[in-house]
Amino acid sequence: MPGKIIIFDTTLRDGEQSPGASLSSAQKLIIARELEKMKVDVIEAGFAISSPDDYKSIQDISSALKDTTVCSLSRAVEKDIAASAGALAAARHKRIHTFIATSPVHMKYKLRMSKDEVVSNAVGAVKLARGYCDEVEFSCEDATRSDKKFLCEIIEKVISAGAGIINIPDTVGYSYPEEMGELISYLLTNVKNSHKAVFSVHCHNDLGLGTANSLAAVLAGARQVECTVNGLGERAGNASLEEIVMALKVRFPKIKTGVDTHAIARVSGMVSHMTGIVVQPNKAIVGANAFSHEAGIHQDGVLKKAQTYEIMKPEDVGISGSQLVLGKHSGRAALAKKFKDLGFQVAGDKLDAIFAEFKKLADKKKKVYDEDIIALIEKDMGRRDGFELKNFEVHTTPSGSKGKVTLKKAGKIFKGEAAGDGPVDSVLKAVEAVSGRKGVLTDYQVKSITVGKDAQGEVRLRAAFGKKVLAGVSSSTDIIEASILAYLSALNKLELRNIKT
C-alpha cells in the first residue's frame, strides 16, 4: 500500500522510562537535534507535568528545533494540558498528545470511571488542547484490550472535538500481528469520520511483537508509527525505530518514511552511550553482530556476493561495511581476505600453514583480532628456515623452575632442558641448550594486545648474543609460549644470517 508514514519518536519520553535510562535536559537536547537531522517527523520530548526537568527539556527542544514537530504528553487533565502548552510555547511546530484509558480493566480499577465519564473527559481534553495548538493527538490507552464498539464511539467523538491524530496503543504488548491489522481495518471502516484523522499505533514489545504489530497496522492503513531508538521503553520496550524504518525500506519500498537511514547507527550509538543501556550484539539493524559473519560458508558467500547473506547494505544504516569476524568457524577465504586488507600477500602453501595455526588459535579464543593475525604472520616468517617451537613444559617449585623445550629445524627434532630462576628463564635456557647460542636479555616487555580474559599477550625483547643485539617479538594466549617464540624470533635472525658470536 503506497503512502508516507509519519515516524513519531518517543525515545525522550517513553524510552526514558526504561529503568536506569534517565537523561538530563542537556542530553535530551543533543539527542533531539540528532533526531531532527535524521529527519524524524515528530519528537515526543517529554511529559511536561511529570517534573520540572521534563518541562525544561521540552522548552529547550521547542526553542532549538526548526523542522521537526515537538510533542508533549498529557493525561486528559486540565493541568497536564496547560503544562504541555506552556512547555511547547516556543515550538515552531507543536503537538499536544493527550490520552485516557479505554479498556475495561483500566476504567474499572485504575480510573474508576464509567464509559460515559471516560468519553466526556476525552472530548473535554481534546477541546482544551485545541485551544492551545492546532495539532492534537489522542490516544486510547490499552486500546488492544478495549471493546471495539466503545473505541469507535470515543474515537468518533474526539475527532469531532478536534483531534487530528488517533493513536491506537498496544500498551501492554498483548496483541499479535493479524489481530492488530484487523483492529486498524475495523476502526478505519467503522469510525464514521475516520477520514478526518491520521491513525497511529504505539506497540510495546512484551511478547517480542512490537515491530511486527506496527508493520501489520501500517499495512492495514495506519499512517503514523510511534517508536524508540534501540527499542527502549517501559518493561520490554517499544517497537524499534530502526527496525520499523528498515523493514519498510527493505520489504515495502513503496511505503516511504522521511528518515535518513544513514544516521541510524550514529544515533543508536549516541542513545546507548547516554542512557547507559548497551545494545545487545544480536539486535537487528544496530547490534554489533548485525552485519558480521563468522561461519566459513557465510563468509565465502558474502565475499562472492553480499546479497547471499545480507538483505540490506550496512552502509544504508551508517555502518562502514560488513565485518568478517575471524573465529573457529571461519574459512580460508575469510583469512585470505583479512591478509589482503592488512596489506599482506599470502597464498598457497604459506596460507595453508598459517591457516592451520589460525585454527589452533581460534579454538583458544572467541574472537581473533587483527593484531592476532599479524602476530601469526610474524611467527611464520621465522619458522621456515630457523628453529620452530613444537612443545614445551615448565615445572615450578618454590626453589626454582625446570623447563623443557622441543624444537624443530630443517626437518629434525631437538630437545633440551634447563633449570632457571622462573618459568621464562628456565625455558629460554633450554632453548639455548638446544641452539648452542647463549643470549643475554637486555630488554623484556609484556603487554596485552587484545581484550578479554582470553587476550593474547605480546612479548617484545632484545637479546645480546656476544656483541650482536637482536630484537624478537611474538604473541600467544600463553605468556611463556610468547616468550619462547619471541626469543626464537631473535635467535633465528642470528641463525639465518650465520652471525658468529
Of residues 302, 283, 305, the one with CA closest to residue 293: 302
Yes or no: say if 440 and 425 are a contact pair by the CB < 8 Å rule: no
Average predicted confidence (pLDDT) for the chain? 87
Q: Is 373 within a domain?
A: no
Percentage above 90 pLDDT, the chain: 59
Q: Is 429 within a domain?
A: yes
pLDDT of residue 204: 97
Same domain? For 250 and 204 the reply is: yes
pLDDT of residue 496: 52
**pLDDT, tens only, 20-55:** 777 888 889 999 999 999 999 999 999 999 999 999
Same domain? For 350 and 413 the reply is: no
The amino acid present at 18, given as its one-letter code, is: S
Same domain? For 387 and 355 the reply is: no
pLDDT of residue 294: 47
Same domain? For 313 and 439 the reply is: no
The upper half-sphere exposure of residue 395, i.e. CA atoms within 13 Å in the direction of its Cβ, equals 5
Q: Which residues have a Cβ under 8 Å from the Cβ of 224 and sit 6 or more positions away?
A: 5, 6, 7, 8, 41, 42, 165, 167, 198, 199, 200, 201
Of residues 296, 282, 456, the one with CA closest to residue 365: 456
With bands split at pLDDT 50, 70 and 90, how would you rate the model's confidence at 369? low
Q: Is 226 within a domain?
A: yes
Q: Is 284 within a domain?
A: no
The yes-or-no verdict on residue 168 having pLDDT over 80 is yes
**pLDDT, tens only, 458-473:** 888 888 888 888 777 7
Same domain? For 219 and 298 the reply is: no
Mean pLDDT computed over 437-450: 84
Between these two residues, 277 and 154, which has the higher pLDDT value?
A: 154
Mean pLDDT computed over 342-355: 72
Same domain? For 201 and 330 the reply is: no
The yes-or-no verdict on residue 377 having pLDDT over 90 is no
Yes or no: say if 472 and 461 are a contact pair by the CB < 8 Å rule: yes
Q: Is 215 within a domain?
A: yes
Domain count, the chain: 3
CATH code where residue 398 lies: 3.30.160.270
The bridge status of strand 400-409 relative to strand 412-420 is: antiparallel
Q: Is 280 within a domain?
A: no
Mean pLDDT computed over 412-438: 93
pLDDT of residue 491: 84
Say which residue the cell 519528537 belongs to. 43
Distance (Å, whole) CA 301 – CA 322: 12
Boundary of a domain, candidates 223, 248, 275: 275
With bands split at pLDDT 50, 70 and 90, how would you rate the model's confidence at 361? confident
The yes-or-no verdict on residue 353 having pLDDT over 70 is yes
The upper half-sphere exposure of residue 65, i.e. CA atoms within 13 Å in the direction of its Cβ, equals 35
Mapped to the 3 state alphabet, what secondary structure does 52-91 carry? HHHHHHHHHHHHHCCCCEEEEEEECCHHHHHHHHHHCCCC
Between these two residues, 241 and 283, which has the higher pLDDT value?
A: 241
Take residue 90 and report the three cell numbers written for it: 516556543
Same domain? For 443 and 486 the reply is: yes
Same domain? For 307 and 205 the reply is: no
Same domain? For 10 and 141 the reply is: yes
Boundary of a domain, candidates 321, 347, 368: 368
Boundary of a domain, candidates 368, 401, 428: 368
Same domain? For 303 and 390 the reply is: no
Say which residue the cell 624444537 belongs to. 407
Mean pLDDT computed over 189-194: 98
**pLDDT, tens only, 142-164:** 999 999 999 999 999 999 999 99
Distance (Å, whole) CA 290 – CA 288: 6
Q: Is 473 within a domain?
A: yes
Radius of gyration over every alpha carbon of the chain, rounded to an integer in angstroms: 32
Same domain? For 247 and 150 the reply is: yes
- Provide the 10 A C-beta neighbour count for residue 96: 30
pLDDT of residue 293: 47
Q: Which structural domain, as residue segments, surrounds residue 204?
A: 3-275
The yes-or-no verdict on residue 302 having pLDDT over 50 is no
CATH code where residue 143 lies: 3.20.20.70
Same domain? For 110 and 208 the reply is: yes
Q: Is 140 within a domain?
A: yes
